[in-house]
Amino acid sequence: MTATVLITGAGSGIGLATARAVVARGAQAILWDVSRPALNAARAELGEAARTAVVDVSDAGAVASADLAGVTHLVNNAGILGQKVAWTGLDAEHLKAIFDVNVIGLMLVTQAFAQARMAHPTAAIVNMSSIAGENGGGPGFAAYGASKGAIMALTRAMARDFAPDIRVNALAPGIIDTPIQDTILTAPDARDRVAEGIPMARMGTADEVARAADWLLFDAPYVTGEIIRIAGGRR
């Protein structure tokens, strides 16, 4: 049975790299993102193996009305970092904006998937967390870190509740060289300074995270409820 993988936040970065990985395996991919131009570029690259839809995962109505026909696997990758906000300036509105996408969005998509999914012998969900869920995130990103910690807790709960039919795991990337880093590492020597704090002495790549996601989706039949760091030894 051909697998069909729904990937949220798939217009660029880790999501797009994951789409490439599952298509290379022979699976079909459904790409969701809020950017139509990014999806158009992804569709042009991946061809007939992919179909796309503009879906805001935090919009319950949009998720409920989306086409999940034939979906067998899910990668909850959509997420936002949010603006850097000092702890003294953190407010409920900022926290809610992060959680609406990173946590509530994951919940809505997972519920829709669980209701619509096609049976498949390797049915699985991969949630994209972050090592920020363990270390709290960098200065000014407490809301992001809290949302990623919530994803870790939800992953373990989902794994228990969906077993044995659907395996559920999460990845916790460290600093990965994706477009979002361009908005953070703006100083000329910023990337070198970041690399100094990573035992592997470099940032990770989206492809490296994607390979781990692909493994969890298809080649880890007795792995569920796990949080796997992809962080080059960084904590």
Strand partners, 32: 8, 53
Cα(87)–Cα(217) distance, integer angstroms? 37
Cα(181)–Cα(9) distance, integer angstroms? 16
**Rounded to 10 degrees, what is the CA torsion of 102, 108, 114, 115?**
-170
Nearest to 116 by CA among 79, 151, 74: 74
- The DSSP code for 163 is T
Tokens linked to 37: 């131009």
144, 146, 194, 231: which one is catalytic?
A: 144
| 144 carries an active-site annotation | yes
Active site residues: 144
